[in-house]
Amino acid sequence: MMKKMKSLPFVKVMTWLTITMASVLSFRVMAQLPDYQRVFGVSGSLLSVGSDTLAGMTTLWVEEFESIYPNVNAQVQASGSSTAPPALTEGTAHFGPMSRPMRLREIEAFEREHGYKPTVLKVAIDAIGIFVHRDNPIQGLNFQQIDSIFSVTLRCGATKSLNNWHELGLDSDWSKRKFQLFGRNSVSGTYGYFKQNALCDGDFKKGVNEQPGSASVVQSVASSISGIGYSGVGYQVAGIKLIPIARSGDDYIYPTRKNILNERYPLSRFLYVYVNKHPTKPLSKVQSEFIRFIFSRQGQELVRKDGYVPISQSLAKQELAKVELTLSDQN
């Protein structure tokens, strides 16, 4: 007699579907981008200073670019988005990866120094996920609940702070477990984005364990049965569960590419690279080719490999035009 197949928990099935759908759609998008073609005479140094969220992606770009051009020496410093603007302003970096747009005061400081604004390039799409331990039975959270868990100011409509899993309806052993909160530090663009959007610009609880990097957040959650944290969805490790979220109620949304692009998923964003592009002068050849590589099929494949969503061909053309490049130019 045939044995009855053991059913998988709904959230695990949906998580698998999320990853599968995102991968299929990402491959379709990348297929529209041209292959990067090596050109003659590219050499020199590149220094990238900025976001930890983009650290893995930037390192992959740099390593592949150096393999194409052995005479290029590139370095990546990834201490947080807030380190990018001063490095670009002071001329100590060629590229400034950021997980948030520059603030007005950062743009103004750059403009005072150089006489023009920095150029921003959208290089990938990210989504901020809420992670819990893999054994946690929670099915989803809305913004009011997220705010009640992480914030002391309750600006998203909640009437009281939540401190344990029982207050979210979990029973049995979970009713005795208090939240162990994990997040990023204030230097991080992810910290600022989550504060503004998920906490309605409220203040974090003092009990949030601030981590130096996105990977540290999910690793901490994986090692804490009562843990909950926020990080980019690309930073998934064994031992955690990515849960769907809703702006209100229980219409929970998973961060699939489709949901991100049609703005159904509430916590999605572009990732950026800022450059110092003079309005009337071209970038150096090594800088131009590195940017063109980022927007090639190979460059966006590395975006997908690092767990993020590649951008479309039309957006790639739009961004390259900002620095007077095209997808097809090979000089």
The pLDDT of residue 8: 40
- Backbone φ and ψ for 297, nearest 5 degrees, come out as -60, -40
The pLDDT of residue 261: 76
The pLDDT of residue 116: 99
Q: Are residues 189 and 216 in the same domain?
A: yes
Whole-angstrom Cα distance, residue 18 to residue 254? Answer: 7
Q: Are residues 201 and 247 in the same domain?
A: yes
Number of H helices, E strands in the chain: 11, 11
Give the number of domains in the chain: 2
- Backbone φ and ψ for 202, nearest 5 degrees, come out as -85, -175
Q: What is the CATH number of the domain that holds 167?
A: 3.40.190.10
Q: Are residues 110 and 38 in the same domain?
A: yes
265 Cα distance to chain centroid: 14
The pLDDT of residue 29: 54
Contact call for residues 122 and 272 (beta carbons, < 8 A): yes
Give per-residue pLDDT as tens, 144-187: 999 999 999 999 999 999 999 999 999 988 988 999 999 999 98
Contact call for residues 218 and 237 (beta carbons, < 8 A): yes
Ranges of the chain whose pLDDT falls below 50:
1-8, 10-11, 13, 15-16, 19, 21-27, 330-331
The pLDDT of residue 27: 46
Q: Are residues 207 and 224 in the same domain?
A: yes
Q: Are residues 314 and 199 in the same domain?
A: no
Question: Which residues, other chains included, contact 233 with Cβ-Cβ below 8 Å and sequence gap of 6+?
Answer: 126, 127, 128, 129, 242, 255, 307
Supply the DSSP string of 219-281, one letter for each residue.
Answer: HHHHT-TTEEEEEETT---TTEEEE-EESSTT--B---HHHHHTT-SSSEEEEEEEE---TTS
Whole-angstrom Cα distance, residue 88 to residue 95? Answer: 7
- Among residues 275, 308, 298, 282, which one has the least CA distance to residue 65? 298
Q: Are residues 257 and 149 in the same domain?
A: yes
The pLDDT of residue 28: 52
Q: Are residues 145 and 223 in the same domain?
A: yes
User: What size, in residues, is the chain?
Assistant: 331
Q: Are residues 256 and 277 in the same domain?
A: no
Its domain, for residue 316, covers: 27-125+269-321
Residue 19 lies in a domain: no
